[in-house]
Amino acid sequence: MALLMETRLILRKVKDLRCVAVRWSRVKPKWATTRPKFPATRLALHQFDVTYGSQLSALWPSVRVALLCEKKYGALINNFSHHDVMAELQLQGCKDFITDTAPAADSQSQDPERGGEEVSQSDLQTTSDTSIHSSIKCLVFPRGDISRFKAARPDSDGLLGYYLMDAASVLPCLALDVRAGHSVLDLCAAPGGKALAIMQTYDLGFLCVNDSSASRTMRLRRVLQSYIPKDQLSDTKLHVCSFDGTMFGDVERNSFDRVLVDVPCTTDRLSVTEDDNNIFSKNRAGERKRLPQLQAALLLSGILTARPGGEIVYSTCSLSRQQNQGVVEQAAHLALQEHGIHTQIVDLKPLTQRFSNTFHFAPGLSAGEMVVPHLAANFGPIYMCKLRRLT
């Protein structure tokens, strides 16, 4: 009798498990149908294979692999913090790529890693100063070292010792060449890494950091509060605002010595690695197609805000020729045709030569310079082009 009762109990449990299995089998296909057939990351990679495969040619396969791998970070040192993080990071093998550099060989017209291809920008009329503002410091691990930085710790005043960012993102700030007393505009400042880099120069005359999105501006304020002393944040030399960047040139024309225009873009690395809020999602197709138009409007606005003789640095985190050189050419044309403003491209080759041991640069661009991802130095992509306003 006991054996019979035990058998019935086992059969009942088996029956219950079958019911659960049936319910699961009914639900599982339903869940599967809600998943996108072609994830945004897959759509982005396919698009990049088509466009960048043609644009970068033999360079694309290595860039593609690096894009899909974990990127390297740099630690932007916060000079306002009391922590001696420089010494701490140097003990871990890091170096400040800005000051601890050995310029590449004198003859830089040919790069053996680029197959001896001639790299020339003979149409450029002027070259940038090779001096670098020494108060900006960014530490990186050596080439090929994929160690991760630990999270920064707050000092006694609650200020963090360093800000983690793509080290290549510091290059547009260096190209901006901020000098004592300059008035500076960061037109699309959120989340705030480049604004922090600019603020490390100490001797700014005035800094305006702007972002058109109210939520992103709130994030920008939180970043600044984590790194900048309260008295500096309340200083009249710093102004944080949330204004439509495309209209900034209408209200602040001829106002700034230096303008940074780090525009929204396809953010190529995130586009191939993160599906969440991906710009290649089908519901963002229209926004993606309008990007070059928005970028050109922002750069034009930046040109208008600069004083005659002032300089503007345009930057993206995309490899796209349409979003990079194409936007620079379009904005310069609009500035001349619609406003009578002449601009001149400033040669950034001295800057890229100085840092060629840290970053890999794309060869032969018609305008500007671009850091391309590489497994040994997986920074970027970062494109930058410097314009000088002549009239």
What domains sit in the chain, N to C, each tagged with a CATH number?
A: 40-102+123-389 (3.40.50.150)
Cα gap 140→150, rounded to integer Å: 13
Q: How far is CA 102 from CA 98, 206, 355, 365, 380, in A?
A: 10, 33, 8, 24, 21
Q: What is the pLDDT along the chain (391 residues), one digit of tens a residue?
A: 555 555 555 556 545 545 544 444 454 545 445 566 789 999 999 999 999 999 999 999 999 999 999 999 999 999 999 999 999 999 999 999 998 765 544 433 334 343 333 333 334 444 444 456 669 999 999 999 999 999 999 999 999 999 999 999 999 999 999 999 999 999 999 999 999 999 998 788 999 999 999 999 999 999 999 999 999 998 889 999 999 999 999 999 999 999 999 999 999 999 999 999 999 999 999 999 999 999 999 999 999 999 999 999 999 999 999 999 999 999 999 999 999 999 999 999 999 999 999 999 999 999 999 999 999 999 999 999 999 999 9
Q: Are 207 and 195 in contact (CB under 8 A)?
A: yes
**Element (H or E) spanning 213, and its range?**
none
3-state secondary structure of 21: helix
In the prediction, which pLDDT does 203 show? 81
In the prediction, which pLDDT does 111 show? 43
Token duo for residue 305:
């805000």
In the prediction, which pLDDT does 128 show? 44
Cα gap 158→225, rounded to integer Å: 9
Cα gap 230→253, rounded to integer Å: 30
Residues 6+ apart with CB under 8 A from 44: 266, 268, 271, 272, 278, 280
What's the pTM value of the predicted model, to 2 decimals?
0.86
Q: Quick check: is 317 catalytic?
A: yes
**Element (H or E) spanning 299, and its range?**
helix 291-305
* Catalytic residue chosen out of the listed positions 138, 173, 208, 317: 317
By residue count, the chain amounts to 391
Q: State the residue for tokens 């500076």.
A: 184
Token duo for residue 145:
């070292």
Token duo for residue 15:
């029956």
In the prediction, which pLDDT does 100 show? 78
Of 101, 122, 97, 245, whose CA–CA distance to 185 is shortest?
245
Q: Are 169 and 98 in contact (CB under 8 A)?
A: no
In the prediction, which pLDDT does 114 show? 39
Q: Are 176 and 198 in contact (CB under 8 A)?
A: yes
